[in-house]
Amino acid sequence: MTLFTTAPRLLVDRLLQKFGRAAGLVLLARVLQNLNGFLLSILIVRRFGLQGAGTLVIATIAIVILALIGTCGLPYTLARMNIDPKQRNTVGLFACMAVVPLSLPFVGALGLIVGHSHKEALVIALLALGGPFFAQTNITNALQVLLNKPGDAIIPPIGNLLGLIVAAWVSPGFVTFAAILAAFRFAAIGCAFLRLPCRRTSFRMLITHMADGARYLIADAINLGTDQAAMLILSFILSRAQLGLLGLCRQLITVSDTPGWSQIQAFYPGMVADPARNGPLLISRLRWIGIVSAASVALLTAPLGLWIYRAPGFLVLAPLLQVSTPIRYLLAAYDTRLRALGLVAASNRISAIRGVLTLAIIPAGAWAAGAFGAVVAIIIQVVLATYLTRRVPIYGTQPALKSFAIVKPIS
């Protein structure tokens, strides 16, 4: 009995020691969130088939876009705000409250345009409300790290998990399932903010800080917007079953990216304060984490494909797509470098170029060879994007940062 109680604690302690306390705790929360994503896809595939997974892929288009835009760029600017911490929390709370009503027209339009029936349109809209939830989660995580409360990052994924359990237990159909899940997600964000003290703040200050954060949002909006636009195009090229298979493979990408984004979120305040030192340290960590993460997630494909999803094509496409994981880690590091240095214009320009490549390469691959062609095209696009972003000049503004381009650890 002692082994069962001490082994998990030792594993957590080792993880926190390896990643750092803040990054480790955020990682644990993100891992649980990814497990929730797996559970969601498994429940949908088992209850509603691959067609249901295809519906989830369409909703994911809105989820990814809204999860980004709904943050108003605050995860990049909260560490830069020279205001009282309680007022900073108020800025985050205001953004979290505003994102829900602002998202409703978008998710409704997506369901009506793409849905094959009124029922599927409603399901798409309800599932797409996960976008505001994940935006709210990213904002609260950034605030929790700044307040030295990274352990509170577990609250949103716990609420998400409870929502999945209740939805699977009591929902008679797909619509009710999606509605229950959305309700539990938003309730979890409310609980998280109960742990964040706030102070009255002027409306002008709220708008000023949100507008400042929006400047950092343009590049990410282009990158993720074009990626999801490509998936929307694929919904007219691939069958729902093929689209569902591709969506399951892309879900594993989210899992393999989780350790890296946890590092970036924990490192970003330090990057802003001292990019010359923390930049090389971050990229050094991301190198080996990306390789280990890709290999570990690739091992999951056999049991998932054979026993969970029962999709033979998954056994080929999912490991193949993991080839892009270490390269994406480098891409994330170079993107973070530009934001930490405040090079917003340069980040926007390179993102626009990458967006054009995304819309050209991925649909072409799907048209030529179906889901397999789409996976190969995604890998090619990531390689080109990393190469182009790596070449963005930064030396004219801060010559001391030349060392960042050298991938080596700091002693």
* Boundary residue ending a domain (191, 215, 239): 215
Domain membership of residue 177 (yes or no) is: yes
Domain membership of residue 309 (yes or no) is: yes
Please give the residue range of the domain that contains residue 394.
218-405
Please answer whether residues 285 and 263 qualify as being in contact, where contact means their C-beta atoms are separated by less than 8 angstroms: yes
Q: Output the CA–CA distances (angstroms, integers) from residue 271 to 77, 84, 102, 405, in the order listed.
A: 12, 21, 32, 14
Q: Which pLDDT band, with edges at 50, 70 and 90, does 73 fall under?
A: confident
292 and 187 in a common domain: no
Mean pLDDT of the chain: 82
Q: Around Cβ 280, how many Cβ atoms within 10 Å?
A: 20
Q: How many domains does the chain have?
A: 2
Could you give the CA distance from residue 281 to residue 102 in angstroms, rounded to a whole number? 38
Q: State residue 356's pLDDT score.
A: 93
* Boundary residue ending a domain (159, 182, 215): 215
189 and 278 in a common domain: no
Domain membership of residue 2 (yes or no) is: no
168 and 96 in a common domain: yes
Please answer whether residues 61 and 107 qualify as being in contact, where contact means their C-beta atoms are separated by less than 8 angstroms: no
* Boundary residue ending a domain (215, 241, 270): 215
DSSP state of 153: G
Domain membership of residue 7 (yes or no) is: no
Domain membership of residue 9 (yes or no) is: no
In the block, tokens 């993991």 appear at 322
In the block, tokens 């030529």 appear at 368
Dihedral class, residue 117 (left if φ above 0, else alpha if ψ from -120 to 50, else beta): beta
227 and 201 in a common domain: no
238 and 181 in a common domain: no
297 and 194 in a common domain: no
Q: Which pLDDT band, with edges at 50, 70 and 90, does 117 fall under?
A: confident
374 and 236 in a common domain: yes
Could you give the CA distance from residue 99 to residue 87 in angstroms, rounded to a whole number? 19
Q: Which pLDDT band, with edges at 50, 70 and 90, does 396 fall under?
A: very low
237 and 113 in a common domain: no
306 and 252 in a common domain: yes
268 and 304 in a common domain: yes
Domain membership of residue 355 (yes or no) is: yes
Residues 89-100, mean pLDDT to the nearest whole number: 89
Domain membership of residue 5 (yes or no) is: no
**pTM above 0.75?**
no
296 and 258 in a common domain: yes
Residues 322-334, mean pLDDT to the nearest whole number: 91
262 and 210 in a common domain: no
For helices 174-193 and 85-114, give the axis angle rounded to 10 degrees. Answer: 170
Query: Which of 385, 292, 281 lies closest to 331 in space, CA to CA?
Result: 385
User: What does the block give as tokens for 18?
Assistant: 């390896």
Q: State residue 398's pLDDT score.
A: 42
For the chain, the residue count is 411
- 258-289 pLDDT tens trace: 788 777 877 777 777 777 777 788 888 888 88
